[in-house]
A = this chain, B = another copy of it.
């Protein structure tokens, strides 16, 4: 069995081809919109959510063709949220994944439509490809993605984030925000991957969901630590922008040391949640390690 980095690199390369195939081709009208959609999605990011979906898919021996679609849908939702988040009326950021943000490279109106179209494509893919032998289960998967993405999930977390600028939040309030803003979609990635294969019982799904919740929160805590320490070149996006925007982070609330400790505790809790799964959960465990120990 290949080591984690070899596995992850292979998945990332393979997934890039999946995205290239699933995104509208750039020669198809409207060409500029389609080119901008591809610009916003391709050649970028660590693909953490897809990797979580692939790792969960391995746990249940899922058909990789099915996990590809679920992973792509989650990544398209993530990509749309970044495009909209970077716009002048939100974070007004000019750099993302080492490239000019979508509204800088194209224009604001195009970026708005890119985000709208990517979200729509995510649901289209989930509806038009076979993800589970049971179409009723597939409908439940679409509901899961929608719930994780909408006003009670990711988009709601962004609204709370906006409202928090300049405010003194408590750690539970910050946690509530991040469980929605980044956590919801990460949890969905794990569960959607797991729904593509052999059915798990509810207790197993609950443990996987708890794993996703811990990993999602750890991801954000580590992000805050890295954002407070790294420089822009290493990060591939504007560093220190949260502090600059007067946004509360785990580092500003807890300090770097306590934030690191919190990430370590979440890491432990995530691994504990997987304890009953045996060797099938190896990639999920390795991803938890990667998310907490990453340097960028």
Contacts and interface: CB of A to CB of B under 8 A. Distances in A.
Q: How large is the interface on A (under 10, 10 to 19, 20 to 34, 35 or more residues)?
A: 35 or more
A149 interface: yes
Nearest to A33: B159
A30 interface: yes
A134 B80 CA distance: 31
Interface in A111-156: 112-113, 115-117, 119-121, 123-124, 126-128, 134-136, 138-140, 142-143, 146-147, 149-152, 155-156
A156 B33 contact: yes
Interface in A84-117: 84, 87-90, 107-110, 112-113, 115-117
A119 B116 contact: yes
A155 B124 CA distance: 14
Given A30-B160, A156-B29, A124 B147 contact: yes
B121 A151 contact: yes
Contact of A143 (B29, B81, B110, B127): B127
A247 to B, nearest CB: 13
A151 B109 CA distance: 14
5 contacts: A112-B112, A113-B158, A119-B119, A127-B142, A128-B139
A32 interface: yes
Report which residue of A121, A147, A149, A159 has the largest number of chain B beta carbons within 10 angstroms of its beta carbon: A159
A34 interface: yes
Nearest to A36: B159
Contacts of A84: 112-113, 116
- Looking at A28, A107, A113, A134, the one whose CB has the most chain B CB atoms below 10 A away is A113
Contact of A139 (B108, B116, B135, B158): B135
Contacts of A155: 33, 113, 116-117, 120
Contacts of A117: 150-151, 155-156
A159 B89 contact: no
Nearest to A134: B135
Contacts of A203: none
Contacts of A109: 89-90, 162
Contacts of A121: 146, 150-151
Interface in A247-273: none
A236 interface: no
